[in-house]
Amino acid sequence: MKTSARVIEMQESPLRKLIPLADEAKKKGIKVYHLNIGQPDIETPPNFLRAIKNFDEKVVGYSISNGCPNLRQAIVDYYKKQNINFAENEILITNGGSEALLFSLLATTEPGDEILVPEPFYTNYNTIAKIAGISIKPITTLPETGFKIPAKKEIEKLITPKTKAILFSNPGNPTGAVYSYEELKVLADLAKKHDLYLISDEVYREFVYDGFEFTSCENFAGISDRVIIIDSISKRYSACGARIGSIASKNKELMANILKLCQSRLCVPTLEQAGAVELYKTPHSYFEKVNAEYKKRRDIVFEKLAKIPGVQCQKPRGAFYIMAELPIENAEDFAKWMLTDFNLDGETVMFAPAEGFYATKGLGKNEIRIAYVLEEKKLSRAMDIFEAGLREYRKLTS
C-alpha cells in the first residue's frame, strides 16, 4: 500500500524525535529533566476542573461549530481587559492554537503560495504549512540583535506575487523575543502595502518580563481586516491537554469561510469548553504570580548559561524559552549524547536542538532552545547537569 507524498514529505517533529532516546534512558533508571518542550509544570487553575465536575447536562452533546457562545463571550471579556477589542461573532473556538493556525493558513492561501515567517520559528508551522501545501519563506532574525524584526526593505525583498501572509509568534517561541510597536509597525505596513494577512500568534501574550510592554496586532489601525489573532489556553492557563484555542478576526468574510472548516470537524470538546469559560475568568493576579515564577526561572537559566565558557545567549523578554549558541559543532548530536551516553549521578537533561527552528539550511546547528518549565530547584539542578555534560562532551569532541 502507498502512503501519500503529502505525509511522506512532512518533517517529523524535531522536538519529538529525541523522545525514544529519553525513554531508553529512563528504562535504564536515569532521571531525565525535560527542558525540551513547552509543557509547563504550573498547576492549572482549579476552576477548570471544578467547572467540568459541575457540568450538569445528562448528555455530553456536540457544541456548535464556532464554539460555545459563553466561551466566546468569556474571551471577549478577557480581551477587553487586555485592550483588545473583538465582538463575540469575531471569535471562533478551535482545537488548540494548532488548529487555529491550520484553519487560518487554509483560509488565506492557495496550494503553492508562500508565507513569510521570522526565523527561528515554532517548528509546527512547518507541518501546518505542509498540510496547507504552501511554503515558508524565512525572515532571518539574529540572536545578537535579540531576534529583532529586520528593516522593511530587507523583508520586502522576500515578497513575491505568491506571498499571502506574514505569520509570527509574539512573544516568540523559540526566541523569547517580544516585538516592539515599531517592529510590528514594519510588518503591519508591509501587510497593507502588499495586500497580505498578518497572522499574529499571541499564545504567550501574558508572559512578558522586565516591564516590557506587549503590543497586540489588533491595536494597529487601518488593517483590521488583515489581522488574524491566534490564541490558546495551553500556555496561558497551563492547560495544554484541554486543547482549546481560538481565532479572532474582524474580517467577516474570512471568518464565515473559516467556519466551514470548523464545521468539517463538527465541534471542539464540550467539556473542555465549559472548563475554559472559567479559566478565562481567572483574575489578573494569577498572571502576576505566574510571571514572577517564570521570570525567576528565566534568570536562573540565563545566569547559569552565561557563566558557561563559550556559551552565547541573550536574556529573553518573553514566553518561557531561551536560545543559546554552544561552543560545539552539532547541537543535535550533543542533545542525543546527553540522553544516550551521559548522566550525572543518574540524572540527565533533555533540551531542543535548534536547527529545526530554522528554515534556512545551515542555521542553528550549534544552537539549542531551553524551555524553563520546571520549578526553581529542578531547573537549577538540570542546568548544573547541562553544564557538566557540555564540559564532558567538549572534551570528547575537541
Ligand X SMILES: Cc1ncc(COP(=O)(O)O)c(C=O)c1O
Grid cell for residue 301: 537559566
Cβ proximity to ligand X: between 31 and 148 the closer is 148
Cβ proximity to ligand X: between 199 and 385 the closer is 199
> Could you tell me which residues come within 8 angstroms of residue 350 by beta carbon, excluding any fewer than 6 positions away?
18, 22, 32, 33, 34, 35, 36, 335, 338, 339
Coil, helix or strand for 371?
A: strand
Q: Which of 240, 271, 363, 388 binds ligand X (CB under 6 A)?
A: 240
- Parallel, antiparallel, or unpaired: how do β-strands 245-248 and 227-232 relate? antiparallel
Residues 182-201 touching ligand X, rule: CB under 6 A, are 201
How would you class 146 by CB atoms within 10 Å of its CB: exposed for 0-12, middle for 13-18, buried for 19 or more?
A: middle
Cβ proximity to ligand X: between 38 and 45 the closer is 38
Would you give the end-to-end CA distance of the chain in angstroms? 47
**Closest separation between CB of residue 96 and ligand X, Å?**
3
Nearest residue to ligand X on Cβ basis: 96
Cβ proximity to ligand X: between 232 and 343 the closer is 232
Helix, strand, coil proportions of the chain in percent (round to 5)? 40, 15, 40
CB 24 within 8 A of CB 30: no
Of 92-100, 139-147, 343-351, 368-376, the window that binds ligand X (rule: CB under 6 A) is 92-100
Cβ proximity to ligand X: between 122 and 342 the closer is 122
Of 80-88, 95-103, 175-183, 210-218, the window that binds ligand X (rule: CB under 6 A) is 95-103
Instruction: Identify which of 363, 313, 305, 354 has the alpha carbon closest to the alpha carbon of residue 332.
Output: 354
Amino acid identity for residue 210 in this structure: D
C-alpha distance from residue 239 to each of 60, 96, 273 (Å) = 21, 10, 12
173 scored as a contact of ligand X (CB under 6 A): yes
Grid cell for residue 254: 474570512
Cβ proximity to ligand X: between 63 and 169 the closer is 169
Residues 199-228 touching ligand X, rule: CB under 6 A, are 201, 203
96 scored as a contact of ligand X (CB under 6 A): yes
Amino acid identity for residue 219 in this structure: N
Cβ proximity to ligand X: between 96 and 389 the closer is 96
Q: How many residues sit close enough to ligand X to count as binding (CB under 6 A)?
A: 13
Cβ proximity to ligand X: between 96 and 176 the closer is 96
**Closest separation between CB of residue 334 and ligand X, Å?**
23
169 scored as a contact of ligand X (CB under 6 A): yes
How would you class 323 by CB atoms within 10 Å of its CB: exposed for 0-12, middle for 13-18, buried for 19 or more?
A: buried
**Closest separation between CB of residue 235 and ligand X, Å?**
7
CA distance 46 to 28: 36
For the window 114-153, what string marks contact with ligand X as x by the rule CB under 6 A?
--------x-------------------------------
Of 9-17, 91-99, 110-118, 379-387, the window that binds ligand X (rule: CB under 6 A) is 91-99
Cβ proximity to ligand X: between 123 and 343 the closer is 123
98 scored as a contact of ligand X (CB under 6 A): yes
The residue length of the chain stands at: 398
Q: What are phi and psi of 33, to 5 degrees?
A: -85, 125
For the window 245-264, what string marks contact with ligand X as x by the rule CB under 6 A?
x-------------------
**Closest separation between CB of residue 370 and ligand X, Å?**
14
**Closest separation between CB of residue 245 and ligand X, Å?**
4
Cα 96 versus chain centre, distance: 11
For the window 31-70, what string marks contact with ligand X as x by the rule CB under 6 A?
-------x--------------------------------
CA distance 391 to 119: 29
CB 319 within 8 A of CB 172: yes
Q: Which of 97, 118, 176, 356 binds ligand X (CB under 6 A)?
A: 97
Q: Which residues bind ligand X (CB under 6 A)?
A: 38, 96-98, 122, 169, 173, 201, 203, 232, 234, 240, 245
